[in-house]
Amino acid sequence: MTKKTIILIVVGLALAIFGAVTFLISNLDGIVASVIESEGSKVTGTQVSVSGVSIHLKEGHGTINGLTIASPEGFDPAHTFKLEGVTLDLDLGTLRDDVIVINEIRVSDPRVNAQILKDASNNIQALQRNVDQYTASRGGGGAGGADAPATDKRLRIKRFTFDGGRVELDATALGDKEVRAVDLAAFTINDIGGTEGTPPDAVAKAVLAALTRQTIETLAKSGIEEKARETLKDKAGEVGKGLIDKIGG
């Protein structure tokens, strides 16, 4: 092999690597959107979609717009959760580490469409059960399982903040005459994953559990529990109590 041939091969490899990196960077937004939709749909058991993603690696910032999580089967709302804007503040120094640190994720204008059926079942907790079943099938959120991602990367999120949003509550099955709107108080989850980090699906479980808890508390304060008691008062004692308890967790 001549020196000229070796030089051509090296140059060709360099161009190929440069082209691959350029392609990855130029298509990063679409790749991230695809991963969110495909992996999110697996975790929640419903369709997850985003309207846009913008990642700026040099600055360590990113935004996700129009993230929606569809309602589980059997419920009317097209989506249970809609997050209009999600911003990320990345710790660039950890991107190559086993534990990737995200300094903050902030969700602006979160919207929740809650529906309570006549038996007091609701789409919020139905979605939470889907996530619980998925993480349980993967060993509680650890590695393994047929659908486990081909990566050992773990996440640590120092701060996950939900700005105040709204809950649209459809309890017409319990006697409400119309859908009511209830304010969703702002809240923050601190240090998800800890220093050891946690798999992405375990992060999803923790965040959804917190959002579910906040939503259920909001619904309870709206007086819906009393409405459920009135609707179910003709049922046998323990059966009626069990149905009512579904609203409060």
Question: Where are the extended beta strands (E) located within 137-186?
Answer: 154-162, 165-170, 180-184
User: Packing angle between helix 224-232 and helix 237-245, nearest 10 degrees?
Assistant: 150
**pLDDT value of residue 24:** 39
Question: Where are the extended beta strands (E) located within 14-78?
Answer: 48-49, 52-56, 61-70
Contacts of 148 by beta carbon, 8 Å cutoff, 6+ apart: 138
Q: What are the φ/ψ torsions at residue 144 (nearest 5 degrees)? A: 115, 170
30-72 pLDDT per residue, tens: 777 888 888 889 888 999 999 988 888 788 888 889 999 999 9
Measure CA 219 to chain center.
20
**pLDDT value of residue 14:** 46
Burial string for 74-87 (b: 16+ CB within 10 Å, else e) reads ebebebbbbbbebb
Q: Which residues pair with 195 in a beta bridge?
A: none
Contacts of 110 by beta carbon, 8 Å cutoff, 6+ apart: 81, 82, 83, 84, 162, 163, 165, 166, 184, 211
Tell me how many domains the chain contains.
1
Closest Cα to residue 161, out of 186, 183, 188, 185? 188
As a whole number, the mean pLDDT across the chain is: 76
Q: Is 35 helix (H, G, I), strand (E, B) or coil?
A: helix
68-118 pLDDT per residue, tens: 999 999 999 999 999 988 999 989 888 888 898 999 999 988 899 989 888
CA dihedral 7→13→14→20, nearest 10 degrees, is 170
The token pair at 115 is: 């529906």
Half-sphere exposure at residue 29, Cβ-oriented, CA atoms within 13 angstroms: 13
pLDDT (average), residues 170-174? 85
**pLDDT value of residue 78:** 94
Q: Is 205 helix (H, G, I), strand (E, B) or coil?
A: helix
Q: Is 144 helix (H, G, I), strand (E, B) or coil?
A: coil
**pLDDT value of residue 2:** 58
pLDDT (average), residues 173-183? 84
CA 167 to CA 180: how far, in whole Å? 8
Decide: pTM greater than 0.85: no
Which residue segment(s) compose the domain that 170 sits in?
A: 3-245
> Would the pLDDT of 145 be above 60?
no
204-246 pLDDT per residue, tens: 888 888 888 888 787 777 666 565 555 544 443 443 344 445 4
